[in-house]
Amino acid sequence: MQNYLDSVTKQFLYYKSLGDKTIENLSEHQFYFKTNPEANNIANLICHLYGNMKSRWTDFLTTDGEKPDRNRDEEFEENKFTKEELLNSWQSGWQILFDALKQLTENDLQKIIYIRNQGHTVMEAINRQLAHYPYHVGQIVFIGKEIQKSNWKSLSIPKGQSQAYNSEKFGKEKSNTHFTDEYLKKE
């Protein structure tokens, strides 16, 4: 089960890195670009992720994951934070998550925690967030790609490079490693 905690930590790091690479190249006004009037912008998504991470992972094992002082609706309102403020929220939210994960042990995984009074094992709660955060990081990447257009630098296998990528992978000995090991090592 420790392998599970190590694996989910690496997966969260991987998705954070996709967001990092997208947002590091954006100007302040680009955080507010919308693909349509009803869409969220990157600033909204960062505020939402920070609010969710702070609420879910603070006192993770002892208090409900939806804290009474969280105002979820406010996370999606029009706001005007500076790029520095948004990046601070982004980093802070992830740090709260990683600090909470570091505290967990194999014995914690079957404990029951609550989110809005709904019981989850710790493992179920982690899996819930492991689906939720990449969903929003994917939105951030999509918006970033829309903004960057032809200047976009691929975050995975570039178009037209799949065969070369596979040849390189299959040219190596089989190994038992996490899919993020090689990717995160490059950073």
CA 180/CA 16 separation, integer angstroms = 12
Query: Sign of dihedral through CA atoms 75, 80, 85, 88?
Result: positive
pLDDT (mean) for 154-179: 90
Both tokens of 64, joined, read 């409900």
Q: For residue 104, what is the DSSP state?
A: -
pLDDT (mean) for 135-140: 98
Mean pLDDT (the chain) is 94
pLDDT-based confidence at 186, cuts 50/70/90?
low
**Which domains, ranges and CATH numbers included, belong to the chain?**
2-156 (1.20.120.450)
Strands in 25-72 per DSSP E:
none
CA 187/CA 184 separation, integer angstroms = 6
Ordered DSSP codes for 16-28: HHHHHHHHTT--G
pLDDT (mean) for 158-175: 91
pLDDT-based confidence at 187, cuts 50/70/90?
low
**Phi-psi category of 59—alpha, beta or left, where left has phi over 0 and alpha has psi -120 to 50?**
left
Query: Sign of dihedral through CA atoms 97, 21, 155, 149?
Result: positive
pLDDT (mean) for 40-44: 97
Cα 61 vs. chain centroid, distance in angstroms? Answer: 21
Residue 83 burial (CB < 10 Å; 0-12/13-18/19+)?
middle
Residue 56 burial (CB < 10 Å; 0-12/13-18/19+)?
buried
Question: Hey, is 48 helix, strand or coil?
Answer: helix
CA 157/CA 118 separation, integer angstroms = 39
State pLDDT tens for residues 44-81. Answer: 999 999 999 999 999 999 999 999 999 999 999 998 99
Q: Which residues pair with 112 in a beta bridge?
A: 121
Of residues 151 and 130, more confidently modeled: 130
Please say if the pLDDT value at position 2 is more than 80.
no
State pLDDT tens for residues 112-135. Answer: 999 999 999 999 999 999 999 999
Q: Among 10-24, 86-100, 148-162, whose mean pLDDT is lowest?
A: 148-162
pLDDT value of residue 184 = 74
